[in-house]
């Protein structure tokens, strides 16, 4: 029964994600065209009304499943826009925490999928308006349920996105390393943050406001495509989580996550190895208890597939892990 509740809860989140993504696409279409008229707006409103009512039922089911297992997934919403402001008045309130030149900021922006297609003149203009902050290890960058008007590009360090239930249970949705953009959903939505972002290591962040991103959505169709890809990635992660919970055992889920973590941090000429990782972290990622993850890791180590090296895990037989994760070796 606990397993059923967990799977049903995650399935509810996927319903929310897919419905609200549809509303978001309709709303962003209005932003891009600037003049689709009342028909497009009514379509977006209708989609969001359906998404809100179905989403309410799905979220209720989701939290019921979360109480049974302590696991959740992220959801997304729809968009609105307003013209870019003069940010000079804001500069004194939010001073950069570290010195980076405009050229360096522009280079970081161009290295991301979200801003990589911008022309040099546009990215330079955006870089001049981009703030820079440093988040120490363990710092909360933004919190679940708070209003959000900024997104972030990770220039250095590592950041995780987590969801917490009312009872304090935690699930990790994603772990980002440079170059990664995150927090963009809240910029095209008037709702609260759907997750909490925490610095795993001391991290350097480029800060882009809602007004700047929405200006870019109007200005450059390439950014619109990149935002769609990013939002689509959120839905794909939710869909894959459902598939993993249904079709993979604990060893398979642990194997898949280790492959993803090691691939994100791989270096040329070296064996695949994860970054620093605790068993609690891994349990939060795969929807299991620390004890069940510990057992899966010990079994994989006995089979010669992995090796624990301090707080990291080295992948000795990636092909075996791929087979266990249901992936093509």
| Tens-place pLDDT, residues 159-173 | 999 999 888 888 898
Last residue of some domain: 182, 206, 232? 232
| pLDDT at residue 301 in the model | 96
DSSP one-letter code for 303: T
Q: Does 157 score more than 90 pLDDT?
A: yes
Label residue 83 exposed, middle or buried (CB < 10 Å: 0-12, 13-18, 19+). Answer: exposed
Can you give the C-alpha Rg of the chain in angstroms? 21
The DSSP secondary structure of 93-112, one letter per residue, reads: TS--SS---HHHHHHHHHTS
Q: Does 222 score more than 90 pLDDT?
A: no
| pLDDT at residue 73 in the model | 34
Q: From residue 72, give the alpha-carbon distance in Å to each of 61, 317, 319.
A: 11, 30, 29
Taking the CB of residue 290, how many other CB atoms lie within 10 A of it?
A: 14
For 255-287, letters b (16+ CB in 10 Å) and e give bbbbbebbeebeeeeeebbbbebebebbbbbbb
Q: From residue 126, give the alpha-carbon distance in Å to each of 34, 87, 108, 228, 264.
A: 21, 12, 12, 20, 27
Please give the share of the chain, as a percent, with pLDDT higher than 90: 40
| Inter-residue contact 27 to 56 (CB < 8 Å) | no
Is 50 found in the same domain as 96?
A: no
Please give the share of the chain, as a percent, with pLDDT higher than 70: 68
| pLDDT at residue 81 in the model | 30
| pLDDT at residue 71 in the model | 36
Mean residue pLDDT of the chain comes to 74
Alpha helices in the chain (DSSP H): 2-33, 37-69, 88-91, 102-110, 120-128, 210-219, 221-247, 250-264, 279-286, 290-302, 318-324
Q: What are the beta bridge partners of residue 18?
A: none
Residues 6+ apart with CB under 8 A from 226: 113, 114, 115, 116, 117
Least trusted range by pLDDT, from 6-15, 129-138, 210-219: 6-15
Q: For residue 186, give the H/E element and its range.
A: none
What is the C-alpha separation between 206 and 223, in angstroms, rounded? 17
| pLDDT at residue 35 in the model | 35
Is 143 found in the same domain as 100?
A: yes
The CATH number linked to 156 is 2.60.120.10
| Tens-place pLDDT, residues 88-133 | 333 333 334 467 899 999 999 999 988 988 889 989 999 999 999 9
| pLDDT at residue 270 in the model | 67
Q: Does residue 241 belong to any structural domain of this protein?
A: no
| pLDDT at residue 266 in the model | 58
What is the C-alpha separation between 253 and 258, in angstroms, rounded? 9
Q: What is the mean pLDDT of residues 39-49?
A: 40
Paired tokens of 33: 């065209």
Is 299 found in the same domain as 252?
A: yes
Q: What are the beta bridge partners of residue 205?
A: 133, 154
Label residue 312 exposed, middle or buried (CB < 10 Å: 0-12, 13-18, 19+). Answer: middle
Range of the domain at 259: 248-324
Q: Does 65 score more than 60 pLDDT?
A: no
Residue predicted with more confidence, 1 or 98: 98
Is 121 found in the same domain as 31?
A: no
| pLDDT at residue 57 in the model | 40
Phi, psi (deg, nearest 5) at residue 157: 105, -155
Q: Which of 310, 307, 312 is nearest to 321 (CA)?
A: 307
Three-state secondary-structure class, residue 173: strand
Last residue of some domain: 232, 262, 294? 232
What is the C-alpha separation between 21 and 182, in angstroms, rounded? 16
The CATH number linked to 275 is 1.10.10.10
Is 218 found in the same domain as 252?
A: no
**Number of domain units in the chain:** 3
Is 195 found in the same domain as 107?
A: yes
Q: Does residue 83 belong to any structural domain of this protein?
A: no
What is the C-alpha separation between 54 and 48, in angstroms, rounded? 10
Paired tokens of 36: 């689709």
If you search the block for the tokens 């994760």, which residue do you land on?
325
**pTM of the full predicted structure?**
0.64
């Amino acid at each position: 029964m606990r397993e059923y509740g967990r799977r049903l809860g995650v399935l509810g989140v996927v319903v929310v994600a897919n419905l609200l993504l549809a509303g978001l696409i309709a709303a962003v279409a209005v932003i891009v065209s600037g003049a689709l008229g009342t028909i497009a707006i009514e379509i977006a409103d209708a989609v969001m009304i359906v998404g809100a009512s179905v989403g309410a039922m799905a979220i209720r089911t989701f939290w019921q499943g979360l109480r049974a297992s302590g696991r959740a997934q992220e959801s997304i919403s729809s968009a609105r826009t307003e013209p870019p402001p003069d940010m000079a008045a804001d500069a004194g309130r939010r001073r950069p925490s570290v010195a980076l030149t405009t050229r360096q900021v522009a280079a970081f922006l161009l290295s991301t999928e979200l801003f990589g297609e911008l022309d040099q003149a546009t990215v330079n203009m955006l870089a001049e308006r981009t703030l820079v902050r440093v988040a120490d290890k363990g710092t909360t960058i933004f919190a679940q349920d708070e209003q959000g008007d900024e997104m972030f590009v990770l220039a250095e360090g590592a950041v995780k996105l987590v969801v917490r239930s009312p009872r304090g249970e935690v699930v990790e949705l994603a772990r980002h390393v440079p170059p990664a953009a995150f927090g963009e959903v809240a910029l095209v939505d008037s709702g609260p943050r759907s997750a909490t972002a925490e610095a795993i290591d001391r991290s350097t962040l480029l800060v882009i406001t809602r007004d700047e991103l929405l200006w870019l959505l109007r200005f450059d169709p390439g950014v619109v495509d990149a935002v769609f890809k990013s939002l689509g990635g959120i839905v794909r992660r939710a869909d894959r989580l459902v598939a993993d919970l249904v079709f993979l055992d604990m060893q398979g889920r642990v194997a898949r996550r280790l492959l993803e973590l090691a691939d994100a941090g791989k270096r040329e000429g070296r064996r695949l190895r994860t970054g620093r990782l605790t068993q609690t972290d891994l349990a939060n990622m795969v929807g299991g208890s620390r004890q069940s993850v510990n057992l899966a890791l010990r079994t994989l180590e006995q089979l010669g597939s992995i090796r624990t090296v301090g707080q990291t895990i080295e992948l000795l037989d990636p092909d075996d892990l791929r087979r266990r994760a249901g992936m093509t070796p």
